[in-house]
């Protein structure tokens, strides 16, 4: 049966959901290292397919015979925007990695909270406060510190692609926040299947035999695990978190991916991060904490408000 509107959710619960989402997203580096022979199109193709398949199974379990109604419940603009931003963003991310170093893409990606904050007043009606902007600046510094040794100059086309990728992530976040009273999981599910077809056929243009569709059985099994664990489940948490967490804070918490992503290869395959990863990671963690708790800390206390009113 189709449920009613989402129940009221606290800010703290939303933050926990977004933290869980970021924890799942951070597994991407580990999965990629377990499949060194795959290129970006193959990864994006089958990761998108298994993500969408897992989300569809989740929706069927949740709604049963009314699953199709959950897709129809998403307003058409929301469906087109969310599915489109996911598919285009995934493709731009893969393309940017073929044109720039991972470090440069990471640094440009750190501008996502800035885009989100600038567009929030028009997209969601939210106006980020001083703490949010300070946190965005700190996060950018932290990511730059982590990626400094790998930064490169030039390649205007690659930089443009990476900037567009960053803009699509910010736009996706704003879309989820704007339509927070609607379950946007069906829209992301559609985006996953579109990504599967888009990346698969784009692989032919990139010169790959059988496009992005050709993978071995071992790699397919890993991708079948990667889709749900690294994308489907985290996206469900992120969509739930967007119901009660402001857009710029959503983007900033997602920056923790830059801290957690090197952690799993270090713990599991022995790939030791550089010292800059620890320094930059500390700055990012501080930025996220400022974003989560900054507004509460900067609010005047009740006694301060009373003194202020008496002084008038």
**Per-residue model confidence as pLDDT tens digits over 112-137:** 998 999 999 989 989 888 888 999 99
What is the tally of helices (H) and strands (E) in the chain?
A: 17, 0
Query: Using CA atoms, how far apart are residues 286 and 83, in angstroms rounded to an integer?
Result: 32
Question: For residue 37, what pLDDT is reported?
Answer: 86
Q: What pLDDT, in 10s, does the model give residues 15-38?
A: 999 999 999 998 888 888 888 888
Q: What percent of the chain shows pLDDT beyond 90?
A: 48
Cα distances (Å, whole numbers) of residue 283 to 4, 17, 64, 80 = 41, 22, 45, 36
Query: Using CA atoms, how far apart are residues 195 and 41, in angstroms rounded to an integer?
Result: 10
Q: Tokens in use for 23? A: 């924890």
CA-wise closest residue to 211 among 48, 39, 37: 39
All residues at 6 or more sequence positions from 35 whose CB lies less than 8 Å from its CB, including other chains = 43, 219, 222, 223
Question: For residue 12, what pLDDT is reported?
Answer: 92
- pLDDT confidence of 72, banded at 50, 70, 90? very high
Could you count the other beta carbons within 10 Å of the beta carbon of residue 122?
Answer: 10
Mean pLDDT of the chain: 85
- pLDDT confidence of 7, banded at 50, 70, 90? low
Question: For residue 153, what pLDDT is reported?
Answer: 60
CA-wise closest residue to 86 among 122, 119, 114, 55: 55
Indicate the SS3 state at residue 95. helix
Q: What pLDDT, in 10s, does the model give residues 253-277?
A: 998 888 888 788 788 877 777 777 7
Sign of CA dihedral 100, 250, 168, 31: positive
Residue 74 CA to its chain's centroid (Å):
20
Higher pLDDT, 109 or 185: 185
Question: For residue 270, what pLDDT is reported?
Answer: 73
Query: In this model, does residue 312 exceed pLDDT 60?
Result: no
Q: What percent of the chain shows pLDDT beyond 70?
A: 89
Question: For residue 303, what pLDDT is reported?
Answer: 38
Q: Enumerate the domain spans of the chain.
A: 12-298
Question: For residue 264, what pLDDT is reported?
Answer: 82
Do 175 and 76 touch, CB atoms closer than 8 A?
no
Do 263 and 150 touch, CB atoms closer than 8 A?
no
* Dihedral pair phi/psi, residue 299, rounded to 5°: -70, 135
Q: Which residue has the tokens 């049966």?
A: 1
- pLDDT confidence of 296, banded at 50, 70, 90? low
What is the four-CA torsion angle of 87, 263, 110, 36, rounded to 10 degrees? -40
* Least confident residue range of 101-105, 159-163, 259-263: 101-105
Do 125 and 177 touch, CB atoms closer than 8 A?
no
Query: Using CA atoms, how far apart are residues 128 and 290, in angstroms rounded to an integer?
Result: 13
Higher pLDDT, 231 or 105: 231
Do 278 and 58 touch, CB atoms closer than 8 A?
no
- Find the length of the chain: 312
Q: Which residue has the tokens 């307003």?
A: 75
- pLDDT confidence of 230, banded at 50, 70, 90? very high
* Least confident residue range of 8-12, 84-88, 128-132, 258-262: 258-262
């Amino acid at each position: 049966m189709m449920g009613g509107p989402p129940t009221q959710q606290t800010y703290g619960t939303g933050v926990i959901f977004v933290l869980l989402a970021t924890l799942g997203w951070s597994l991407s580096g580990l999965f990629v290292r377990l499949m060194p022979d795959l290129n970006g199109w193959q990864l994006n193709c089958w990761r998108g397919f298994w993500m969408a398949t897992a989300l569809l199974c989740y929706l069927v379990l949740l709604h049963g015979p009314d699953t199709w109604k959950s897709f129809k419940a998403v307003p058409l603009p929301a469906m087109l925007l969310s599915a489109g931003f996911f598919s285009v963003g995934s493709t731009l991310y893969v393309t940017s990695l073929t044109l720039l170093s991972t470090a440069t893409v990471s640094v440009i990606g750190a501008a996502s909270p800035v885009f989100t904050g600038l567009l929030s007043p028009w997209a969601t009606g939210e106006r980020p406060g001083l703490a949010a902007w300070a946190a965005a600046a700190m996060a950018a510094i932290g990511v730059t510190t982590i990626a400094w040794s790998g930064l490169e100059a030039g390649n205007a086309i690659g930089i443009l692609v990476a900037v567009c990728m960053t803009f699509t992530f910010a736009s996706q976040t704003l879309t989820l926040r704007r339509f927070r009273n609607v379950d946007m999981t069906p829209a992301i599910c559609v985006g996953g299947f579109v990504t599967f077809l888009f990346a698969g056929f784009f692989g032919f243009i990139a010169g790959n035999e059988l496009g992005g569709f050709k993978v071995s059985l071992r790699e397919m099994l890993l991708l079948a695990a990667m889709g749900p664990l690294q994308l489907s489940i985290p996206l469900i948490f992120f969509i739930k978190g967007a119901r009660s967490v402001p857009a710029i804070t959503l983007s900033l918490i997602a920056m923790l991916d830059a801290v957690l992503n090197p952690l799993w290869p270090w713990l599991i395959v022995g790939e030791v991060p550089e010292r800059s990863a620890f320094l930059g990671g500390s700055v990012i963690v501080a930025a996220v904490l400022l974003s989560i708790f900054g507004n509460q800390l900067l609010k005047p206390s009740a006694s301060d408000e009373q003194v202020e009113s008496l002084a008038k």
